[in-house]
Amino acid sequence: MTNEHGWNLDNSYTNLPSPFYSKQKPTPVKSPELVIVNERLAEALGLEAGELRGEDAVQIFAGNQLPPGSNPIAQAYAGHQFGHFTMLGDGRAVLLGEQIPPNGEKVDVQLKGAGRTPYSRGGDGRAALGPMLREYIISEAMYALGIPTSRSLAVVKTGEVVYRETELDGAILTRIAASHIRVGTFQYIAEFGERNELQALADYTINRHYAYIADDQRYLHFLEEVIKRQASLVAKWQLVGFIHGVMNTDNMTISGETIDYGPCAFMDQYDPATVFSSIDRQGRYAYGNQPYIVAWDLARLAEALLPLLHEEQEQAVKIAEDAIATFSERFQEEWLTGMRLKLGLADEEDRDKELIESLLKMMDTHDADYTNTFRSLTLNQVEGEALFEAKTFQAWYKLWQERLDRQGHSREDVQERMMKSNPAIIPRNHLVEEALSAAVENGDYDVMKQLLDVLAKPYDYTFQSPKYCQPQSPSEIPYQTFCGT
């Protein structure tokens, strides 16, 4: 594959001081085989989709060959994992470089599962096929839902096995992100580096993601902008019932994108205590806790930035605390705005939050499906479910209709607004597992591709296949997800 085929790589991250990364080539694999390539994303990146199915492209996706202009590295970072600080880094990922697409907004091109690095901490640096396909499915579903996210360009099988609890097919995911700069990147350099290195990282990040920030108090404004983006991001998660599962500071991006789809899943029955991750035994990252954890993670970013916020430690702490204190209000504003839209409300009344929270409480009491409840409200099909038969709901419904009447919009306008805010389809956990099982156990990728086609249009209410809309039948065995590391 040559330059005229579309690779247009920069390597600006390597201009940072040496502690931020290690030069690292991917470890070659035996016999790579392309599983899936994201042709629409490829075109947006300035790559010729047809070429990406060729042998040269497959060798690049496998790490056997480098694209022109690549200067591959593994990035260093630290992080709080379930509240405990530790040194981390790219233990199985290699950054090939930063693709500059036609729109000029550069993005990282990273191979996940590309072999050992100096940060592997005893691991094999590899990834299994199932978790890489899972990230592909969920990240592309999130993109279609309109939620900031890393994306998936391709998955290849390596022709080798990885050893976890059993032998599994090895695979490599090509991940695209605005960048892979994390809260943990700042924690790492604040803990182990010098002030000038911290400033270099902050300046680089501002120039890359927040170039509009003025020089006056730029590091405070930088912190405030990250807070805004993360408040907006987690509100969007809550609005669609997405549970990240492993919200460690190394998994929180400075760009405000969702990243690292390990034990993530979507909630069926509404319950704020919902946890899917097998390793989250205390419910730290439960659905209802996600806004609080984002605030906690942002406080760790603020701590790392203290030397840049003010020369006097006490004053720097005060500045940081004041900034973090704005998160709750920003999140509530974003969430409340989104919930109003889910109920078809275009203006504001003081008791809207009470109206919303009373509905959620009833949904919790009656084990109502989160997505389908709002879908039914959108279509005004409120019958046949325990929730809809309850007298408390019928009283609520009357209040909601009166609230809609007061805003003076036609029911057609209300429904159109709701259709744009309430997905008819999400990546149901049992359907994701069905697709992964077919792919991993039988080499059948058609189930996954059909699911991806459906998930690409989550707000399409003309699509009426019950298979993709209904939750799995209740089971005595709780659904669990795993990190895949």
Q: Give CA 281 to chain center in angstroms.
A: 22
In a domain, 345, yes or no: no
Question: Nearest to residue 291, comparing CAs of 272, 307, 318?
Answer: 272
The residues, ordered by sequence, that sit 6+ positions from 20 with a Cβ below 8 Å of its Cβ are 13, 75, 76, 185, 189, 197, 201
Question: Nearest to residue 308, comparing CAs of 409, 408, 204?
Answer: 204
Residue 376 has pLDDT above 90, yes or no: yes
| Residue 63 and residue 24 share a domain | yes
- DSSP at 7: -
| Residue 141 and residue 192 share a domain | no
**What is the extent of the structural domain holding 275?**
183-334
Tokens, residue 284: 């730290």
Tokens, residue 61: 């996706």
- DSSP at 92: S
| Residue 191 and residue 96 share a domain | no
Residue 483 has a pLDDT of 62
Residue 183 has a pLDDT of 98
Whether the Cβ atoms of residue 217 and residue 309 lie closer than 8 Å to each other:
no
| Residue 170 and residue 191 share a domain | no
| Residue 282 and residue 160 share a domain | no
Task: Specify the length of the chain in residues.
Answer: 485
In a domain, 424, yes or no: no
| Residue 45 and residue 147 share a domain | yes
* Residue bearing tokens 């950054």: 95
* Rounded average pLDDT over 121-129: 94
| Residue 101 and residue 11 share a domain | yes
Buried b (16+ CB within 10 A) or exposed e, 96-123: bbbbbbeeeebbbbbbbbbbbbebbeee
321-361 pLDDT tens trace:
999 999 999 999 999 999 999 999 999 999 999 999 999 99
Residue 187 has pLDDT above 70, yes or no: yes
453-484 pLDDT tens trace:
999 999 999 977 889 998 887 765 566 666 65
| Residue 59 and residue 18 share a domain | yes
The residues, ordered by sequence, that sit 6+ positions from 181 with a Cβ below 8 Å of its Cβ are 201, 205, 208, 209, 253, 254, 255
Exposed, middle or buried: residue 75 (CB in 10 Å: 0-12, 13-18, 19+)?
A: buried
Residue 485 has pLDDT above 60, yes or no: no
Whether the Cβ atoms of residue 13 and residue 75 lie closer than 8 Å to each other:
yes
Domain boundary among 334, 350, 365: 334
| Residue 280 and residue 207 share a domain | yes
Tokens, residue 147: 């939620």
- Angstrom distances, CA of residue 236 to CA of 33, 134, 231, 296: 36, 20, 9, 18
Domain boundary among 286, 303, 334: 334
Residue 2 has a pLDDT of 39
Q: How far apart are alpha carbons 41 and 36 in whole angstroms?
A: 12
First-to-last CA distance in the chain? 31
Q: pTM of the entire structure?
A: 0.95
Residue 1 has pLDDT above 50, yes or no: no
- Residues involved in catalysis: 250
Question: Nearest to residue 252, comparing CAs of 305, 298, 291, 302?
Answer: 298
Q: Grade residue 280 by pLDDT with cuts at 50, 70 and 90.
A: confident
pLDDT averaged over every residue in the chain: 95
| Residue 168 and residue 42 share a domain | yes
In a domain, 417, yes or no: no
Q: How far apart are alpha carbons 191 and 168 in whole angstroms?
A: 37
- DSSP H helical ranges for 248-343: 290-309, 313-324, 327-342
Residue 4 has pLDDT above 50, yes or no: no
Residue 45 has pLDDT above 50, yes or no: yes
Residue 310 has a pLDDT of 97
Residue 477 has a pLDDT of 58
Q: Is 215 helix (H, G, I), strand (E, B) or coil?
A: coil
* Rounded average pLDDT over 306-317: 97
- Angstrom distances, CA of residue 180 to CA of 326, 378, 432: 25, 37, 26
Q: Is 176 helix (H, G, I), strand (E, B) or coil?
A: strand
* Rounded average pLDDT over 292-321: 98
Residue 288 has pLDDT above 70, yes or no: yes
The secondary structure element, H or E, covering residue 75 is: strand 73-75
- According to DSSP, the β-strands at 127-128 and 93-99 are unpaired
Tokens, residue 380: 């005004």
Q: In 10 A of CB 356, how many CB atoms? A: 19
Residue 148 has pLDDT above 50, yes or no: yes
Residue 281 has a pLDDT of 76
In a domain, 311, yes or no: yes
In a domain, 398, yes or no: no
In a domain, 476, yes or no: no
Q: Grade residue 165 by pLDDT with cuts at 50, 70 and 90.
A: confident
In a domain, 208, yes or no: yes
Q: How far apart are alpha carbons 37 and 50 in whole angstroms?
A: 10
Which amino acid, residue 474?
A: P
Q: List, in sequence order, every residue forming a beta bridge with 431; answer none if it has no partner.
A: none
In a domain, 192, yes or no: yes
Work out the percent of the chain whose per-residue pLDDT is above 90: 89
**Counted domains in the chain:** 2
| Residue 248 and residue 303 share a domain | yes
Domain boundary among 310, 334, 358: 334
| Residue 143 and residue 211 share a domain | no
